[in-house]
Amino acid sequence: MKAMIFAAGMGTRLKPITDSLPKALVPIAGKTLLERVVTRLKNAGFDHIVVNVHHFGGLIIDYLNEHDNFGIDIQISDERDGLLDTGGGIRKAAPLLQGDEPFLVHNVDILSNIDLAKCYNEHVSSGADVSLLVSERDTQRYLLFNDKNNMRLMGWTNIATGDVRSPFPHFAPEQYQRLAFSGVHVISPRVLGLMDRYPEKFPIMDFYLTEADKVNIVAQKAVDLQMVDVGKLYAIQQAEDFVAAHPE
């Protein structure tokens, strides 16, 4: 099984730590975020991982070399010449993920109790083009799914601003189920060709919300999801507590 870890971000919300360190190498209870995600993927049966790098990318490459890639096949998608955002990052990494099988995408700053093997296998069984792991949690921004049509992605809304987005005509957000994205998704390679008409740098969610009427993008609804997004300084203590409660 193949996976990609997003590790290229600037980590601006974790300053001043990330003034001298990439977010991927921020330590949580004695292990870096990157090691924790790689280990979880490895334990779930993933045997090929691509890690994209930009901010202090050389430190990440050196770190992986020093740890012998944690005993797994890891390749680097190098964005040190220019950060490509999530969509552009996936497209650049695509040659390293060649083949007919889907690949799972995981943010490096997400710690969770997600069953990654189950997530991947359910995507394969579903026949969907893309599966987004989502849950019922409070946030301002929600993805909207049609629960009468296999939980297909229909659009997006920001409940704080009232903004909505959808490629479907006559879109009425109140008709659909609101769910929060977890930062984990599984992509079938047959959709990658649609990215060719996008600019070099673009967010993957823009791609999903533009192509949802042409591509079968579905929700995988997590039950009892426990997750920490280590995106801000206050979340580091939350992550330490999470690790203590969920020993590997």
Instruction: Give the residue among 208, 212, 198, 209 at the shortest CA–CA distance from 164.
Output: 209
Task: Residue count of the chain, please give it.
Answer: 248
Give the pLDDT confidence score for residue 43 in this predicted structure. 97
Instruction: Give the residue among 109, 103, 7, 4 at the shortest CA–CA distance from 61.
Output: 7
Distance CA(50)–CA(65), nearest Å, equals 14
Distance CA(248)–CA(234), nearest Å, equals 23
Distance CA(28)–CA(36), nearest Å, equals 9
Number of CB atoms found within 10 A of residue 178's CB:
17
Residue 121: HSE in the Cβ half-sphere, 13 Å Cα cutoff: 8
Distance CA(79)–CA(23), nearest Å, equals 15
Which residue, chain included where needed, has tokens 């050196």?
A: 62
Q: How far is the CA of 73 from the CAs of 57, 115, 204, 220, in angstroms?
A: 18, 21, 25, 27
Query: Angle 145-90-46 (CA atoms, 0-180°, nearest 5)?
Result: 85
Beta bridge pairs of residue 89: none
Domains and CATH numbers, the chain: 2-245 (3.90.550.10)
Distance CA(28)–CA(106), nearest Å, equals 17
Decide: 143 and 209 in contact? Cβ < 8 Å.
no
Give the pLDDT confidence score for residue 150 in this predicted structure. 85
**Residues of the chain where predicted confidence (pLDDT) is lower than 70:** none
- Phi and psi based region of residue 220 (left: phi greater than 0; alpha: psi -120 to 50; beta: remaining): beta
Give the pLDDT confidence score for residue 186 in this predicted structure. 98
What pLDDT digit, counting tens, does each position of 78-103 carry? Answer: 999 999 999 999 999 999 998 889 99
Give the pLDDT confidence score for residue 5 in this predicted structure. 98
Beta bridge pairs of residue 4: 50, 105
Alpha helices in 44-194 (DSSP H): 57-66, 85-93, 116-126
Q: What is the reported pTM?
A: 0.94
